[in-house]
Amino acid sequence: MRTFLVFSLLSLYVVFGQTPKPFSASVAVAPSDQDRASSLLADSLKDKNPDTRKHAVQSLGLVSPREPYLSQLEAMLDDNDVEVRLATITSLMDLQNEHTVPVLRKALDSDVPEVSFAAAKALWTLNDPAGHEALVAVLSGETKSSSGFISTHKREALRMLHTPKVLFLFAVREGANFAPVPGLGAGISSLQGILADQSVSGRAATALLLSTDEDPQVLLALQDALTDKDWSVRAAAVHAMALRNDPALEKDLLPLLEDKKEAVRVRAAAGYLRLESIKSTRAKLAQNHQPK
């Protein structure tokens, strides 16, 4: 019976012009779930839709800093869409390793102000001197405290930069080290009020980022910013100087009580009162510690 069945099957193959395939135990291997996930990400990074590429870049921040994902992410700094590059910088911050700083320094040289500024903030958050120098250069503008770290053209472009407030809020939340003083606020509401304006400039946000930086060059730049033509820069400088908690800066804030912009005037008044309170408290403490 078995012989008859085999003969019948062979006959059918001959009738339909096919050659019987040898019996084999091998079965086509389906791609693993890991391969499918990797392919999906790789394809999304090459998609024509920039939103798709941006989502893929953002998602890479969830993966550990290993190959090939790290190289794929770094390559996206050359994407032709600015938002994709900004997302890439954020994800590089998530995947901090020995390559992060060199790659971000490369992005610092971008001809696109948004990208260069984002790289500067990221490097500053990582305590890299290049980020600090770049931000000080942005804050300084074309003033006596400006440095030659970046070109005049790029400094001016960065100074006029307008960037969404969410990006700044993230940077301030992650990077600014507010020095709490008993009985005094951290100025979060004032900060949010400045950043809520859609016209806030990159220089204003930089003043907020560097508010507690002890570099003398930063203080000079903040003092210069008090007379900037952009109200948001003046308001940010007042805010930043108040948070330095140095009563010696009272004299710098007094002229701003006459500023033409209300947002600047009220911050100058509050900042002055803050510093006056600190001075009074310190005087009382010093008096109480005097030998009787």
What number is the average pLDDT over the span 252-261? 92
- For 14, counting Cβ atoms within 10 Å of its Cβ (0-12 exposed, 13-18 middle, 19+ buried), the class is exposed
What is the pLDDT at residue 291?
66
Contacts of 86 (CB under 8 A, 6+ apart): 114, 115, 118, 167
Q: Which of 121-135, 165-179, 241-255 has the lowest mean pLDDT?
A: 165-179
Instruction: Tell whether the model's pLDDT for residue 222 goes beyond 80.
Output: yes
The amino acid at residue 231 is W
Q: Which of 62-71, 115-124, 148-157, 282-291 has the highest mean pLDDT?
A: 115-124
Predicted confidence (pLDDT) at residue 158 exceeds the cutoff of 70: no
Residue pLDDT, tens place only, 159-187: 445 444 444 554 454 444 444 555 566 67
pLDDT for 73 beyond 50: yes
Instruction: Quote the pLDDT of residue 237.
Output: 93
Whole-number mean pLDDT of the chain?
Answer: 75
Structure pTM?
Answer: 0.61
- Structure tokens, 135: 């931000």
pLDDT of residue 223: 94
Encode 40-76: b = buried (16+ Cβ within 10 Å), e = exposed.
ebeebbeeeeeeebbbbbebbbebebeeebbebbbeb
> For residue 288, with 0-12 CB atoms within 10 Å meaning exposed, 13-18 middle and 19 or more buried, which class applies?
exposed
**The predicted structure's pLDDT at residue 219:** 92
pLDDT for residue 178? 47
194 against 170, higher pLDDT:
194
Q: CA-to-CA distance for 163 and 188, rounded, in angstroms?
A: 19
Q: For residue 205, what pLDDT band results from cuts at 50, 70 and 90?
A: confident
